[in-house]
Structure 1
Amino acid sequence: MDKKTGDYSTRGRKIINNTPMGKFGQPDDLQGATLFLLSEMSGFITGIVLPVDGGYNAFGGV
């Protein structure tokens, strides 16, 4: 972000435009994934990559 205007940089706008949720994530957005991985519901999971990226990876942003 530009410190003076608060606008996204060209790269930042490109990322947001390729993210279905249309925003950058915030720390609170990690809560659900974290609680799931800490719970018994994930007891049979031994290794996983769990993207918490607003759909960026699935949408083809990478």
Structure 2
Amino acid sequence: MKRFCETEELNGSIHYLCSNASKFVTGIVVPIDGGFSAFSGV
């Protein structure tokens, strides 16, 4: 996206991780990078 994220763009992930929807999720890394890691060869 060629830019840094806006604070509001983190809300979806934060709400998910703080909700009961993620109660069975353990040991993951959630990349919030606008697709950078998908296209940079990381």
TM-score, structure 1 as length reference = 0.58
Where in structure 2 are the equivalents of 1:47-62 lying within 5 Å?
47-60=27-40, 62=42
Q: Percent identity?
A: 48
Alpha-carbon RMSD across the aligned residues, in angstroms, is: 1.5
Which one scores higher on RCO, CA 8 angstroms, separation ≥ 6? Answer: 2
Aligned length: 42
- Structure 1 runs, 4 residues or longer, greater than 4 Å off: none
Greater radius of gyration (CA): 1
The gaps in structure 1 that reach 5 residues or longer are 1-20
